[in-house]
Every structure is written in structure tokens, then in C-alpha cells.
Amino acid sequence: MKTINLIEHPKWFYQKVRVLQQFLDLSAVHTYVDGPEDAVGISPDGQIQFKVLRNRIDHELEKQALPVCRFVYEPGSAAKRLVAAGYVVDPKASSVVIGYFERHRHQPYGRPTAFTYKYPELFKQMQPYMQAVDRVYREELPEIYAVQQAAVAKTKPCWIIPGTASTTGTINQDWQTACHPDEGNLPGAFSALTCMASGLTGGELILPRWGVAIQWGYGDVLLGNFHELHCNAPFVGEPGTFERITCVFYFREKMILCGTQAEERDRVKMM
């Protein structure tokens, strides 16, 4: 395991305002994390900020999940995530939420996402893959994972992805994100990212506060504090000839407040 002692951008208090919603490239980084070795990034206060684990997910599980990830592809849907999209409409970029979501001002009730509701068998097909990613998280970062487990214990079981400590996932395809934080996720917990890409290079995850870019791909799991600003480096490949799918699994903080699915449906009836 390679340890990377992170160095904060010297003017981060001001810089974070400048880079929010902006697209960055590798000129914004001084530390490039790649190769076959596992790596962990430690901030100056001794806190883990990310951990990348190489070749942890069985290829057969990826083969089982990949058709589902391709099925959910919705070209242009990533533009709905305004900040992460940098307020740019990319007609090919897709971002689709799976699992469960909390009450929202437009939909004030807990609910399965549209994909989960419409395609329960496909959601079930994804679960062995999601469970494998979750096991890596549990084994590699037990103290941080415990924060998430404590939230699971306070949440109705119907909102937890079976066999995991996550409520929700996002499947992104062919989308270079701008600098954004992952808002609404459980404080103190991490997100777990995977990447299945072919026909291109680039797309590294950039953490501008620490000047780090992380390359990861098939078989790898990237665990990180993505409450911090992050984005992707530009893709290098011929448009229309490559495929890049990333999956993000996490716990939505306000799922704790939801009743059972029947109770949440009753909220709809009372509106």
C-alpha cells in the first residue's frame, strides 16, 4: 500500500470558489496516482481522504453488471445535475440514479428511483456487483464504514440496497464532470466508485484541494471523501468509439427520516 501525504492548495479558501463548476485538466495536479499498487491519501490532519484498491472486483461480476449499466443510459440526462455538469448540456452524457431517494420539495416522499421501480429484476441483477464493492469498503475502511452502518441501523430496511450499507447509486456514462461536491450524502461516510471504460484514456478523478489525479478502471474500487470538490480530467479518445461507465454508491443522509414504503405512499395520498 502506497501512502501519499497530501498537500493542500496554499490558497484553497479562495481557490475552491474559483474552481467550483469549472472543468479542470491535469495541469491542476502535481500528484498522479496510477499503476498496480494500492494507494491511500492522508491529509495533514491525519485523515484518510481516499483509498484506491486495485483489482478487487471479479470480472464475472462486472460482466453481470455491465448490461444493466448500459441499459440505464439516458443521453443528455447528466445536464440535470447543474453544478456537476458545469451548467453545460452534453447531449451524450448520462447520469441515472438507482436504489432509493429521500423526500424532496418536488417529491415530498421517500421512494425507489424510477429505474428501481420500473425494473426490479435489473436492479436485482446489479446487487452482487454492489455487494462486492461494499465488501471492499467494509474491509478496507472499517472505521469510516462503521459511520455508515450506524446510519443503516436508524433507517428502515426497505431503503437499504440489500447486502450493503448504501441507499443509493449513480451510474454515469461518457460524462466529464465539472468541480462539484456530493451534497446530501451522509457526513463522515465515504462514497465507493468503480469504473468500466474502454477505447479511451483520461477521465482521471481530480481532487483539486490536494492537487491529485487518480487513474482507476476495471476491477478497481476508489473510496473517497467526495464531500470535497472533485471532477474528471478530459477524456482522450475518438467520440462515439469509446465507452466509460462509472458507478457511485453512497448513503443519502435524509433516508433516516423516511418511514416504511407504505407510510411514504400514504404521504402521497394526503397531498
7-35: per-residue pLDDT in tens?
A: 999 999 999 999 999 999 999 999 999 99
Q: What does the DSSP assignment read for 153-221? A: HTS-GGGSPTTSS-SEEEEEES--PPSB--TTBPTT--EEEEEEEES-EE--EEETTTTEEE---TT-E
Whether residue 23 contacts residue 86, with contact meaning beta carbons closer than 8 Å, is answered with yes
- What is the pLDDT at residue 105? 84
The proportion of the chain whose per-residue pLDDT surpasses 90, expressed as a percent, equals 93
Residue 96 identity: V
- The DSSP output letter for 109 is S
CA distance 64 to 59: 9
pLDDT reading at 265 higher than 90? no
In order of 71, 78, 80, 132, 171, the CA distances from 96 in angstroms are: 11, 8, 10, 21, 5
Report residue 140 as a C-alpha cell: 478496507
Whether residue 125 contacts residue 63, with contact meaning beta carbons closer than 8 Å, is answered with no
Report residue 3 as a C-alpha cell: 501512502
Across the chain, mean pLDDT equals: 96
What pTM was estimated for this model as a whole?
0.95
Describe the chain by its helix, strand, coil percentages, rounded to 5.
Answer: 30, 25, 45
183-231: per-residue pLDDT in tens?
A: 999 999 999 999 999 999 999 999 999 999 999 999 999 999 999 999 9
Residue 82 identity: L
